[in-house]
Amino acid sequence: MTTQEELKEIYHTVSKMDIMELKKAYELAETQEEFEFYKELFTYQLQQKQKLIIKQKDFVI
């Protein structure tokens, strides 16, 4: 398997993860590096969900 194929597989796996799974992952991280990695993934997923909400026609600030 090439690096590109591995990255695509990782992307699909992570994109399917529930936001609470990612939160738990960073809470249980064993190293600071692992914590930062999972927290960034959590933040990305949260941003994607927020974008969907903001794009709704009835969204008002």
Give the count of alpha carbons within 13 A of 5, CB side only: 2
Q: Is the pLDDT of residue 61 over 90?
A: no
For 6-48, the pLDDT digits (tens) are 999 999 998 899 999 999 999 999 999 999 999 999 999 999 9
Domain of residue 34, residue span: 3-54
- In total, how many domains does the chain have? 1
What is the structure's pLDDT at 46?
Answer: 92
User: Token digits for 53?
Assistant: 């909400």
Judge whether 19 lies within some domain: yes
Cα dihedral 54/13/38/33 (nearest 10) = -140
What is the structure's pLDDT at 47?
Answer: 93
What is the structure's pLDDT at 41?
Answer: 92
Judge whether 9 lies within some domain: yes
Judge whether 60 lies within some domain: no
Q: Are 45 and 19 in contact (CB under 8 A)?
A: yes
Per-residue pLDDT band for 56 (boundaries 50, 70, 90) equals confident
Judge whether 17 lies within some domain: yes
